[in-house]
Structures are given as C-alpha cells and as structure tokens.
Structure 1
Amino acid sequence: MTREPPTILLAAGGTGGHLFPAYALAEELGRRGFAVDLVTDMRGDRYGTGFPARSVYQLPAATPGSKRNPIALARASFTLARGILKAHKLLRSVKPAAVVGFGGYPTIPPLVAARMLGVPSIIHEQNAVLGRANRVLAKHAAAVATSFRKTKFLEGALAEKARFTGNPVRGVVIEAAKTPYPPLNQNGPIHLLVFGGSQGARFFSEAVPPALATLPLSVRQRLKLVQQAREEDVAAVKAETAAAGIDAEIATFFKNLPQIMADSHVVIARAGASSVAELAVIGRPSILVPLPHSLDSDQLANATNLAESGGSWCIEQRDLTPLRLATELGRLFDSPDTLSRAAASAKAQGQASSVGLLADLVGDVIGRRRGADGGTS
C-alpha cells in the first residue's frame, strides 16, 4: 500500500514579504516529496505567482487596532476568533505533519489551531526585528527560524528555539543570480530599477523623476529606467521622465522583477525583508529607503544590515530630497568601480542556501515529533 506523503501547511499573509519566502519553501518541500498546502488571508495571491501548493485555503484574519479604539479592537478580535474556529476545522481535515508560519496576524488562526490540536509549528521571521504576531506565537512554537544572525526581541527562552536559516528566495531569484553583475561602461547605458514593494512607494513616484531631471543631459540620455508606480501615478511619472528625455518603462507590477534586478546597475527600493534578501542573493548595489513609521523600524534594521556590509546605501526618507538623490546617483554613475565593489559586497551577504536550511528544519521538527510518538506520523 502506497503511503501518502506528509503534508506541510504553510501560513502566510498576502504581502510579498510573507508570501515569497513561503513560495520558496513550498518549491523545496515539493522537491523533497512533501505535499504542501497554503493558508492565507482574504487578500490571496496578488502577485500572479501561481503558488506551488496542492490547495490554497483562505481564512479570515485582522490586525488588532489601537487600544484607544475599543470598537475596532473588538471587531479584530472577533475576526481572529472566527479564523481560529475555521482553522481548527481545516487542520482536522488536512492533518498536517507541521504548520510553518511566516509572520503577520493572518498566521495567528492556523498556528493557534495547531497548538490546540498538538500539531508542531515553526515560525520564520524575515526581518531583523521579531514581528509582533511572531512574538505572540513564538512561545509555543517548536522552532523559530531567523533571517539574520541577530534578531531584536528574540531573547531568553525564545532565543533557545532560534535557528539561523536566512530568508528563502524563490527559484526565479536563484536563476537570476546566475547573471553576472554588468559593469557600468562610462559611455554605455545605465540601467536603473526603482520599486517600492507591496506598499507601492508613492514617495518614489514623487522623488525620483525630479531627481533624474536634474542630472546632466549626457547622463539622462544613457538612462534606461524601469520604475514601479501606483496605478494613479503611472501617467504622471511617464510624463515627467519623457519630458526629461529619459527612456523609461513605468508599470504597477513587473512579474519578471528578479531578472530586471539582475540586469540593473543600481536599484532604488524600500527595505522589505524579501527585497533585501533578493538584492543580496542576486548581488546588486542599492539605495535603500526604509518605509517610515513601520512597526519597530524593521525596514530600517534590514537596510542597516546590508549597508554595513558595503552592499547598499541606506538613506531615510526624511533625508532623501530630489537634490540629495540626484547627488548620490551622480556620484555612483561616475564611479563604476564603487558600484562593482558594492555588488560584490551585497552578493557576499546573499544566502542562496536558505531554503534548504529551512526545509531541513521542517524535517528535523517532524522527525522529533515522530520520535516522541514512537515512530508514528
């Protein structure tokens, strides 16, 4: 009689920072013969990735608001409670060998249900700061996988559960990383990529075009710009870059973003965990502008880590005027050697093996559980 492969249930919210490492792990677990299911919130997959799971389930979830708004807090609590009940029913049906959560409040219902049913859980933290939902869930997790060797708020008994795996990246990123850094020829085209992650980065739409417009004409004529913009900003960004004589491709989303990144000389981006991980694995110099007012300044911590390695330059949004950006870009475009060194430094921080390490951890947790059960699944 053929034995069914163990099922691993992945829990991730609908943002790229949560979905992309979950996607990478799903790919690797599939290669290792596991069945993989995904549970997410009602946003679903907004990235057109075709998540590599046997089944995708959606559960209601909510982010608790401020305690100063008791009505909103009560609504969020009710939604989470409803999600836990539905997750309990789902886990009884799916019977996963383990549940792996990738942070965010949408992971609370399935991981709480896992604890209620005695199913081992693993948490993966993408940022250099342990997220608030993960702080709640880590106490009862079998293991906490980290993307950075030092993770803020991971201390005491929680630190004993930690295993450094790095932040997994998808197969398309590993493939793009095979492209060598294209040295900047002082008379050749300059490939510049600007993207803001799932937040859309209206700031970049407002700051980048006027910054580029102040560059010398000889530089603008060499620019090949690819920039992400919100739908309502696309027309304005196209008009401004065209008026400046810049060859630009402006869109709301680029499905082949990893390869575009690999073809770039410089990248301007937010400092979300997945963006930083992909920049490092591919090895591209970047100007990172952390999202201001993010909880616990997690993006600032992510950007600082890469900047300290010499692979990027971290500039906080409050300090990045169009004039400052134009000055920084002009300096980098005039120094191809600086860009090449930064590309090499970024790549030295890349962890292409992260997905294998995380899959190993899943196997270890399942193995410990089977051992505790006397070899049963």
Structure 2
Amino acid sequence: MTDASRKVIVLAAGGTGGHMFPAEALARELLARGRAVALVTDRRGHAFGDSLPEVPVHRIRAASPGGGIAGRLKAALQMGLGLLEARALLRRLQPAAVVGFGGYPSVPTVYAAAHAKIPALLHEQNAVLGRANRMLIAGARRLAVAFTTVARIDEGDRAKAVQVIRTGNPVRPAVAARRTSPYAAPAGNGPVNLLVMGGSQGARVFSEIIPQALARLPESLRARIHLSQQCRPEDLEEAGAALSGLGLGGLELQSFFRDVPERLAACHLAVTRAGASTIAELTCVGRPAILVPYPHATDDHQTANARQLAEAGAAWLVPQPDFTAETLAARLGELLSSPATLGAAADAAHRWGTADAASSLADAVLGMLGAGAGTNGANGNHHDHNADSIAKGAAE
C-alpha cells in the first residue's frame, strides 16, 4: 500500500438521511477497498452509529441561514467557527480527498478543503443542484450526480474544469439485492399490489385522497387491490375507517414499513413522493410509480426529480394541486387495466436505475486521486457522462 493510499478520505454530510445514507454507502465501499474513512458532520447530525464503528466521527459547527437578520447573523457566526474547526481538523488529518454530500454541515469542510488544495468531490442526489453544493462547486474537481440532467449548475461553473459524472444515488443493500427481481404485471382478474408511501411518516394528502379515489373505482377492481399504505400515526385510525368498507382484496396500514425492499419488489404500482432516495429505490428495483412531489421542497427539486422519470417513461408526474380523488381514480383505472403500460414503465424504470452507485461513486473518488478504480458491481450499470450531457439545458 502506498503512502497516498494510506491517507484518510473525509466524508462531509448534513445530518438528514438523504445526505447521510449516500455517505454511509460510500464509506462501506471505500472500507471494502482498504481505504481509511472519516465522517464530518455538525453537532446535531446523526452519525453512522454502531453500523460502522471503524469510521471516526468529527463534529463541527454549522447552521442554515435562519429567518431575519438575527438568524442570518447567528448562522454566519456558526459557519465561520465551523470553518476554523474544519481547517484545524484537515490540517491534523491530512486527508487524500474530501467528499461532500450536501447540507449546510458539509460547507465548512469542503470549503476548507478547496482552500487547502485538497481534492474535493461533491455528490448531488437530486435533479437540482442543492444550495450547499452551489456554494461549493467552484472549488470542486468532480461533481457526481444521480440524474441525467441537473439544474442550477451555473454557466461559469460548467466552463471550469469540474468534471461531472453520473454515478447514481446509492440504495440500501437490501434494496440493491432486489435489482434482479422480475416485474410481473397484473394479469386478467388477478391481484394488484398497490404500495403507497409518503416518506418515513407518510403524507397526509395520501391518507385523504387514496380512500376517496379507491371508492370511485368499480367494485370488481377494488376487490383485486391489495393496498399497503404508510400513514402518519395520527391519520391511521381515520384512514383505516375510510378504507375498511371498500371491499379491497387486502389492506395493511402502518406508520412505518420496515420491509420496504420486499414491498417494492412485490408491488405492481407505487404512489409516492419524489425524494431522491425514493427515486433511487424505485428505479433500482424497477417499479412503475405515480409521483406526487412534495410542493414545499427546496427549489421544488422533487418536481424536477419526478419530471425526469416521467420523461423517461418510468413514472407519471401528478403535481399535488392536481392530485384529487377524481384524477387519481381515473389514472388508476387506466393503468390497472393496461398491464402492458405498467410493464413498459417498469422496464424504463429499471433501465434508468442502478444498484452499483456506491461502487461508481468510489471509482469517481479514487479516479480523482489517480488510484485504481476497482471493479463495478455485478449489475454492470455504471454511469459516466461529461459535463455537457449532465448539465445540458439545465441552468436556470
């Protein structure tokens, strides 16, 4: 092992799952390749915990800009202190590279790396470049993305030497294991497995609209539908009462599904939000979906995510204002009576997705350092595109 390969690779991530899970997936892949890894997050961020005890966690100060002048000043002070902490940490660790996963807690560390001329790679999970990554892209050598086009990449940044590579967004190992699960469209009068998920705690709009939409379907079709739906705990009783009298073929309501990979593999159609992790899991397994973007997502990135899948023929985008009982009932009736349409969308989703994003991401990091990239996963779905193809027409 060379001296360079002994150097630690620092991962900087915000504390939410959308940022932290890709960081954990990359950490596992780098550790498997014999590289040392450290995580930097803020004092509130969740670490990898007991799952990766060999990864040391360093916490620095960071904050998102708050409301009002006082909030912005407080955030600026925290970020300034975090930058000093990050500079001291990087001087001590002397890392080979820094990888930023977005979220404001990544900003001080990646900014300090760029200032110290340490190679930096950014990973963007959504179809719109996040605010933290927009702040940092000028100092990065590579930008790894999950979508085929990414908005909010500035023209000036596109003209610089930053290399844009489509690696995909890592999924949980249990989801990746379902990559080869074949899709069998519902046939004849057979059962239809309908999966409804609105994030980890469900979405209230789904709890309100799904029962009303199903009630509008013919009784013969309702009898075929086996519904698995996530609901917020406070909505479970009301949703259950509304659904129980519809004569469904099967009904299961929970506030949290612990077996999402199995449910994804078994479903014929999903109704979900359009967050980056949800998109990655749907397309890894290859399942058609009606996507209802969360309307208050930053920069409306969920709509951008959903639009790319819809344009690929893998999903149907329904903005929340249009997500009514009437429109959903019509869409469900149309789709569930057309197995060929569902099958084509499942195939398109599978082609779009990948199960080896963590491997591709590790390749991108080590390739930036001139190290051997190693091999991709057995699924052979490595994505690599230049900056023009990723950011084509995407600046806003």
TM tier, smaller: 0.7 to 0.9
Does the Cα contact within 8 Å between 2:12 and 2:100 map onto a contact in 1?
yes
| TM-fit CA distance, 1:314 | 0.5
- Say whether 1:238 aligns with 2:237: no
Corresponding residue of 2:327: 324
Corresponding residue of 1:22: 23
Corresponding residue of 1:306: 309
- Say whether 1:347 aligns with 2:347: no
CA deviation profile, 1:84-116 (whole Å, cap 9, x unmatched): 333334434443321111112121122123234
Measure, in 2, the Cα distance between the counterparts of 1:361 and 1:275: 23
- Secondary structure, aligned partner of 2:139: coil
Corresponding residue of 1:358: 361
Measure, in 1, the Cα distance between the counterparts of 2:244 and 2:44: 35
CA deviation profile, 1:264-309 (whole Å, cap 9, x unmatched): 1001111112221221221100001111133322111111111011
- What amino acid does structure 2 have at the position aligned with 1:239? A
Does the Cα contact within 8 Å between 2:201 and 2:231 map onto a contact in 1?
no
- Runs of 4+ aligned residues of structure 1 deviating over 6 Å after TM superposition are 1-4, 46-49
Corresponding residue of 1:371: none
- What amino acid does structure 2 have at the position aligned with 1:293? H
Corresponding residue of 2:191: 189
| TM-fit CA distance, 1:180 | 0.7
Does the Cα contact within 8 Å between 1:194 and 1:268 map onto a contact in 2?
yes
Measure, in 2, the Cα distance between the counterparts of 1:126 and 1:52: 25
Deviates more, 1:226-235 or 1:118-127: 226-235
Corresponding residue of 1:81: 80
Deviates more, 1:136-145 or 1:184-193: 184-193
- Say whether 1:290 aligns with 2:290: no
Measure, in 2, the Cα distance between the counterparts of 1:199 and 1:90: 36
- Secondary structure, aligned partner of 1:233: helix
Corresponding residue of 2:55: 54
Corresponding residue of 1:374: none
Measure, in 2, the Cα distance between the counterparts of 1:133 and 1:275: 21
Measure, in 2, the Cα distance between the counterparts of 1:337 and 1:223: 18
- Secondary structure, aligned partner of 2:241: helix
- Secondary structure, aligned partner of 2:369: helix
- What amino acid does structure 2 have at the position aligned with 1:100? V
| TM-fit CA distance, 1:25 | 1.7
Equivalent of 1:337, from 337, 340, 360? 340
- Say whether 1:249 aligns with 2:276: no
Mapping of 1:89-128 within 5 angstroms?
89-128=88-127
| TM-fit CA distance, 1:22 | 2.1
Does the Cα contact within 8 Å between 2:143 and 2:162 map onto a contact in 1?
yes
Does the Cα contact within 8 Å between 1:25 and 1:168 map onto a contact in 2?
no
| TM-fit CA distance, 1:43 | 4.7
Corresponding residue of 1:131: 130
- What amino acid does structure 2 have at the position aligned with 1:40? T
| TM-fit CA distance, 1:143 | 1.5
Measure, in 1, the Cα distance between the counterparts of 2:260 and 2:191: 19
- Say whether 1:277 aligns with 2:277: no
- Secondary structure, aligned partner of 1:61: coil
Deviates more, 1:35-44 or 1:316-325: 35-44
Measure, in 1, the Cα distance between the counterparts of 2:270 and 2:42: 31
Corresponding residue of 1:179: 181
- Secondary structure, aligned partner of 1:337: helix
Does the Cα contact within 8 Å between 1:16 and 1:198 map onto a contact in 2?
no
The TM-score with structure 1 as length reference comes to 0.87
Question: Residue 335 and residue 5 in structure 1: after superposition, are their counterparts in 2 closer, same or farther (change >3 A)?
Answer: same
| TM-fit CA distance, 1:317 | 0.5
| TM-fit CA distance, 1:2 | 10
Question: Residue 234 and residue 35 in structure 1: after superposition, are their counterparts in 2 closer, same or farther (change >3 A)?
Answer: farther
Measure, in 2, the Cα distance between the counterparts of 1:106 and 1:333: 44
Measure, in 1, the Cα distance between the counterparts of 2:274 and 2:169: 16
Does the Cα contact within 8 Å between 2:201 and 2:256 map onto a contact in 1?
no
- What amino acid does structure 2 have at the position aligned with 1:110? T
Does the Cα contact within 8 Å between 1:148 and 1:164 map onto a contact in 2?
no
The TM-score with structure 2 as length reference comes to 0.84
Does the Cα contact within 8 Å between 1:310 and 1:346 map onto a contact in 2?
yes
Measure, in 2, the Cα distance between the counterparts of 1:367 and 1:230: 48
Deviates more, 1:231-240 or 1:358-367: 231-240
Does the Cα contact within 8 Å between 2:201 and 2:255 map onto a contact in 1?
no
Measure, in 2, the Cα distance between the counterparts of 1:132 and 1:214: 42
Deviates more, 1:253-262 or 1:122-131: 253-262
Corresponding residue of 2:170: 169
Instruction: Tell me how many residue pairs correspond in the alignment.
Output: 366
- Say whether 1:220 aligns with 2:219: no
Question: Residue 142 and residue 303 in structure 1: after superposition, are their counterparts in 2 closer, same or farther (change >3 A)?
Answer: same
Deviates more, 1:303-312 or 1:124-133: 124-133
Question: Residue 54 and residue 325 in structure 1: after superposition, are their counterparts in 2 closer, same or farther (change >3 A)?
Answer: same
- What amino acid does structure 2 have at the position aligned with 1:82? L
Structure 1 vs Structure 2 CA RMSD: 2.6
- Say whether 1:143 aligns with 2:142: yes
Q: What residue ranges of structure 1 are gaps of 5+ in the alignment?
A: 369-377
